[in-house]
Structure 1
């Protein structure tokens, strides 16, 4: 293409690109911008390219490996608004696809996230990336879900219990990982030891703040010296603003939670509501739900329809199939 050249990333490209890109089109693009950085041969392996127009950076794209989801390379590219629809994005994507063939893992298919109706979605579809999974970040308002009482027998003895559990708990870590694997059957994660699972999702590094669990059949379990199996759980996370010196958390801000459950539990939907209604009793919460989390997704659809919840963001994971990338 005349007047356009492609080269590797250089120091200072980030500032130059931000000057011409201005604000991101959406929150997904804003989050991905942080991944556009210098090449790395260490874990995670990554490569970044920049497109110049008459010597000025106007576009950039990156590909990188991840150890948790290793079947595709994550990818992202962005072109300055005034240079779109000129073939720049296609030029950049083709160059990234060539670089992907040299990934240490041997994985060369690409995936990314796009927002429905965005230019990114149209570009991805036009270049052969297919939908894998829809994900929504949903806000549930304080008190919007009526509290659901715990089960008792005819003598008033509790069959269920809500318990605060330390985020370092091996039991909780195992339950979270079981849920994660089941909810990501569409993109199976790599085998991961529990200490790493804990570090990724439940540690101070992950900004995990606290956790509650719903235990079921606790009377029978107590007779065996046990507590009862965890059927649903929620992990809360510190807001990003809490780590910024002097920053104030806006009134009405929602607590981010990861909500999981036992896929095989017959009363799973009631268990989900029991946990959600308790968490959102006094303060709003946000929860990320994939369509693969069928029981949670069905309930969220109902809450959104009734006005108890609202969709904050919606994204689609799209990817190349192996056949298309060969």
Structure 2
């Protein structure tokens, strides 16, 4: 494995000089990039950090005229082992200069040291990044929407005459953590995941993630959880609460759709909620699409995930 990630300084075409990421680059680049356009953009910029071998990550900065104008990173996920994640951003006045393509080529030359060659990246729909990925041989593999559900848009279920009940559950619950892990793996067959109970607790359910509470829809007759909702908003207000809504993957499609509808009706009874819905979450996607069609929900952001797999090159 390479002990010195990326050469200290390289001169590329079109006058760009490339060096490893260093402290202070985030602030310097913010001056030329401007503020992030959306929460995904903000999160992706946070991926830019010093290169390392454990976990494997490479990050470089491109300078023009001695000033940082672009940066890119390629890193290995502990959760999705089959593809490396790529992110690059170039100052507006230097786009279409070939900078992003050159940074990708430079970083990919380092990839053999981590044993993974396939790549993935995400972008906003209709963005310049989408055009770049398509031109670079990436293919769309997933669509993810941020959907805000209007309060009271779904009829509340009749719990009195059924074996169902709503139950508050601690986010540190082993039962909840196990179900969250099973759900995550089930809806990520398009990008194989290795979610475990420990990773679920660390990455989705710990206080550090912002997880502030969880409710589950339980079938008391069979003593099993049908669906769960984890909130990442501490206090309910008129602003949408961020919620992870999932289900027991052992259920039939019909059972899942009913459970998801019932639980969403209750968590969005009085306040709006924001859900992230991938196309692979078929029962939930069907429900949110119907709500959007009748103006009971709004899509406030759409992201696309592209991949370039080594066996397809």
Residue deviations 1:261-316 (CA, integer Å, cap 9, x gap):
12323422121111011111111111111110111100110000111111121111
Contact 1:254 1:285 (8 Å CA) reproduced: yes
Give structure 2 stretches of 5+ with no counterpart.
1-12
Contact 1:128 1:324 (8 Å CA) reproduced: no
- Measure how far apart 1:10 and its partner are: 2.8
Of 94, 98, 120, the match for 1:111? 120
1: distance between equivalents of 2:38 and 2:259?
A: 34
Larger radius of gyration: 1
What are the equivalent positions in structure 2 for 1:108-257 lying under 5 Å apart? 108-150=117-159, 152=161, 158-190=162-194, 192=196, 194-216=197-219, 218-219=220-221, 221=222, 228-238=223-233, 252-257=238-243
Residue deviations 1:99-154 (CA, integer Å, cap 9, x gap):
22222xx11222111111000000001001111111111111111222122372xx
What are the equivalent positions in structure 2 for 1:28-67 lying under 5 Å apart? 28-42=40-54, 44-67=55-78
| TM-score for the superposition, normalised by structure 2 | 0.89
- Measure how far apart 1:79 and its partner are: 0.9
**Cross-structure match for 1:246:** none
Aligned residues: 299
| TM-score for the superposition, normalised by structure 1 | 0.86
**Cross-structure match for 2:103:** 92
What do you get for the CA RMSD once the two structures are aligned? Answer: 1.9
1: distance between equivalents of 2:42 and 2:206?
A: 25
- Measure how far apart 1:95 and its partner are: 0.8
Distance 1:175 1:91, change over 3 A: same
Contact 2:185 2:195 (8 Å CA) reproduced: no
Give structure 1 stretches of 5+ with no counterpart.
153-157, 222-227, 243-248
Residue deviations 1:167-214 (CA, integer Å, cap 9, x gap):
22222112111111111111111263x233222222222221111111
